[in-house]
Amino acid sequence: MRYLIYCRRSSEDTKQSQSLETQLNILNDFVVRNDLMIVDKIVESKSAKEDGLRSGFTELLDRIAKGEADGILVAHIDRLSRNGTDSAKLTKLLTSGKLKEIRTPSKAYDTSKDILMMEIELAMAAEYSRNLSIRIKEGNANKLRKGGFIGWAPIGYLNHEGAIVPDPKRAPHVVAAFTYYATGGIPLSKLSLRLYLDGFRSRAGVKVAKSQVHRLLINPTYAGLVPYGGITYKGVHKPLVSKALFDRVQAVLHGVDHSKKQTHEFLYRPYLRCGSCDCQMTASLKKGKYRYYYCTNGKKVCDQHRSYLDESDIFALVKDNFANLPIDKKLLNLAFDYYTEKMSTC
């Protein structure tokens, strides 16, 4: 008898099903004790609740049908199937004679009586799978109705004892993202860069990309809500932003915010960082003519945002830093001529 070993761990029931390593160890020991001939091993991590989703199982049946092997060795019969369609395919191969035996370490399925018993056991496995799915859905629905959160916490939160809590390291940056964008004056690409300069990093320690920032801004979880299965529930977790701020950001994203967009240019803003906390500095225009620069306090640890520098103060600092900087006069004149020529054509 030539056997194909088949091992499967459910992609959904990872806590209860045996690991692939455990199944392989059980079967390898059984092969050695009984001196069985093994053609190959097929291993996969897939749910067996629905038919047609397991490439490994399909390969197993095809190779049996082609005559490469005439036996299947599996740790437990329910590793083969948890749905009626796949169970029927196994029965068909057994009754046709192409599959002579399905074997587990505790039982062999080869006679007509064994096939009936196998069908009953597989039917019970399918029923268990259906009931388990129903119980999980019912449990999730009950948790959501109580304001709980299901799944992996979005960036800015941490999973903690079945709930989500603000991440002290990243939550301030999430708040800053909403605050920055609500003004309507910053594209997502620039917002991503600004957050990066302020110290915002993904869980992998890299820059949070523009697309990720967009997903962050449209996620109502940050406003205390829990979207799940097409329904939005009221969550019990702590919101990072108010519902009013969240709605304002959605208006900006969808282009329905008709408030006047910021069009002022601040010469020094892209180059300045706070000397106390190293966050990027921002600027604002007062009374239509006074330009003030101040710390964004993106890390929420700095008190310098309460004070500001007039643009003339910035100019004086820049002038002092460049006063003793050696510059080639010929190069300077060429740059000035180029700038003058470019401006004259605008």
Each residue's pLDDT tens digit, 68-95:
999 999 988 888 888 888 888 998 998 8
pLDDT higher for 199 or 298?
A: 199
Helix axes 112-145, 84-96, angle to 10 degrees: 170
Specify the length of the chain in residues: 346
Give the lowest-confidence range in 43-57, 142-156, 185-199, 254-268.
254-268
Domains parsed from the chain with CATH numbers: 2-143 (3.40.50.1390), 157-253 (3.90.1750.20), 269-344 (no CATH)
Strand partners, 73: 5, 103
Taking 70 as the threshold, does the pLDDT of residue 222 lie above it?
A: yes
Name the residue among 247, 231, 228 with its Cα closest to residue 239: 247
What is the pLDDT confidence band of residue 168, given thresholds at 50, 70 and 90? very high
**Rounded to whole angstroms, what are the CA distances from 327 to 95, 337, 341?**
91, 16, 21
Ramachandran area for residue 230 (φ above 0: left; ψ -120 to 50: alpha; else beta): left
Each residue's pLDDT tens digit, 242-265:
999 999 999 988 875 444 445 556
Cα separation of the two ends of the chain: 85
pLDDT higher for 181 or 185?
A: 181
Helix (H, G, I), strand (E, B) or coil at 228: strand
How much is the pLDDT for 346?
Answer: 47
Taking 60 as the threshold, does the pLDDT of residue 228 lie above it?
A: yes
Taking 70 as the threshold, does the pLDDT of residue 314 lie above it?
A: yes
**Entry pTM:** 0.44
Give the lowest-confidence range in 133-137, 207-211, 310-314.
133-137
Most confidently predicted of 24-38, 119-133, 143-157, 329-343: 24-38
How much is the pLDDT for 343?
Answer: 54
Name the residue among 28, 27, 46 with its Cα closest to residue 104: 27
**What is the percent of the chain where pLDDT is above 70?**
87
Mean pLDDT of 294-315: 78
Residue 133: count of CB within 10 angstroms of its CB: 14
How much is the pLDDT for 260?
Answer: 47
Average pLDDT, the chain: 83
